[in-house]
Structure 1
């Protein structure tokens, strides 16, 4: 995980910063929006087997998009999120496609706030599913020939997921009133852990498949949010 060391460093710096600041009495309201960013994946074992089978390797970082929201009550936050992650590689007519979706229930704690700006720690628990598709381009363009030729296998499993991170957001309000509402922007960095290899059962055409390598959405993430909401200070 050398490539993601800067993310871990950023989290540590943010924690040190917010605990050195004064924590206000809290805020009340809510905020939500759409997210886009990057999720690092644990695909090392999978790539080893893909290479051995003459298939293209997957990159260890993928686009993540989705969204969520939360409500604030004093210093505590309660909310939820959902994300989709997708990546694929194609080489010599062979394609490997990895699609992941998950949702979490989140609880957070407000550790710094000043008017329309806040920083908070967030933890979540939830579940999701993974589809791994291995396909090959058809050798013929004839319809009848392709009816008897199957060029794709889709492996599927479900998994639990846990996440922890530091989030910051700001409602674009330039007044000094005791409330703010409207457009908001945010940033989140953290780490997700999905023990796919420990407890998941892989399926292929409704049959259980064994000897599947351990891979999934375990790794750091960073997302940007655009949304809206309203808060009273």
Structure 2
């Protein structure tokens, strides 16, 4: 899944660079870059079962990183993003690792723009994959014993995702020209909704697993972006 997210991100960045060259008539351009921030997760039901089993509980806030890009045509925006989210907790020799990757196709609308600064609302729809890995440290440091005592299970499923947010970008240009290009910074905040519990088909190896609690990347997010592009005003 990480390779898929990386590929999506690279394609999006390329699209952003292509759009950034189109600065003919009206307001056109594009921006792309890499993101880092925080994603709040819905893990309440999962933590209840982890605690009952004597396993470490996961944090409700996880690191999110990835990237995206968009093109501007008048006041309309079209683009996409790809993200990876990971959180891990370890206690008493047990490790719980949640790994999430997803990509979205986005459409937005400029609500304010002045020279190199712009603010816009953005909505996205896409899909991803989530995996939950639970492992136990081996009791021995001997290689042969490790082969027989090490225990690890990984459950995984795919899911749809929807997101809505408000973004702000600024190209680091300090002139009053009718166009700007170069390094850009941005900030985004919003909410993601992933109905994993409605559509989940959890697998462990080739076996379908039932009675899995509902959890996933549903919650607020905030990210910081650094990248580049060009816009004509």
Q: Is the 8 A contact 1:168 1:187 kept in 2?
A: yes
SS state at 2:149 partner: coil
Report deviation, 1:27. 2.3
Shift of 1:150: 4.0
Deviation, structure 1 residue 131: 0.8
Name the residue aligned to 1:144: 144
- In structure 2, relative to structure 1, the CA distance for the partners of 1:57 and 1:226 (3 Å cut) is same
Are the aligned partners of 1:190 and 1:222 in contact in 2 as well (CA < 8 Å)?
Answer: yes
Aligned residue for 1:148, secondary structure, equals helix
**CA displacement 1:11-58 (0-9 Å, x = unmatched):** xxxxxxxxxxxxxx9621000000000000000000000000000000
Aligned 8 A contact 1:26 1:110 in 2: no
Shift of 1:149: 2.9
Q: What CA distance in whole angstroms lies between the structure 1 residues aligned with 2:26 and 2:94?
A: 54
Deviation track 1:57-114 (CA, whole Å, cap 9, x = no partner) reads 0010000000000000000011010000000000001000000000000001011100
Q: Distance in 2 between matches of 1:156 and 1:150?
A: 20
CA displacement at 1:147 relative to structure 2: 2.2
Alpha-carbon distance between aligned partners in 2 of 1:215 and 1:26, rounded to the nearest angstrom: 45
Which residue in 2 is equivalent to 1:87?
87
Structure 1 residue 148: Cα displacement: 2.5
- Name the counterpart of 2:42: 42
Q: How does 1:23-34 map to 2 (within 5 A)?
A: 27-34=27-34
With the length of structure 2 as denominator, give the TM-score of the two structures. Answer: 0.88
Q: Which residue of 2 aligns with 1:129?
A: 129
Aligned residues of 1:97 and 1:133 also touching (Cα < 8 A): yes
Q: CA RMSD in A?
A: 1.1
Residue aligning to 2:16: none
Q: CA deviation at 1:144?
A: 1.6
Provide, for residues 104-157 of structure 1, a one-character-per-residue CA deviation record: whole Å limited to 9, x for no partner. 000010111000000000000000001100001101112222223341000000
Segments of 5+ residues of structure 2 without an aligned counterpart are 1-24
Structure 1: any 5+ residue segments left out of the alignment? 1-24
Secondary structure of 1:111 counterpart? strand
**Alpha-carbon distance in structure 2 between the residues aligned to 1:172 and 1:202:** 46
1:60 lines up with 2:60 in the alignment: yes
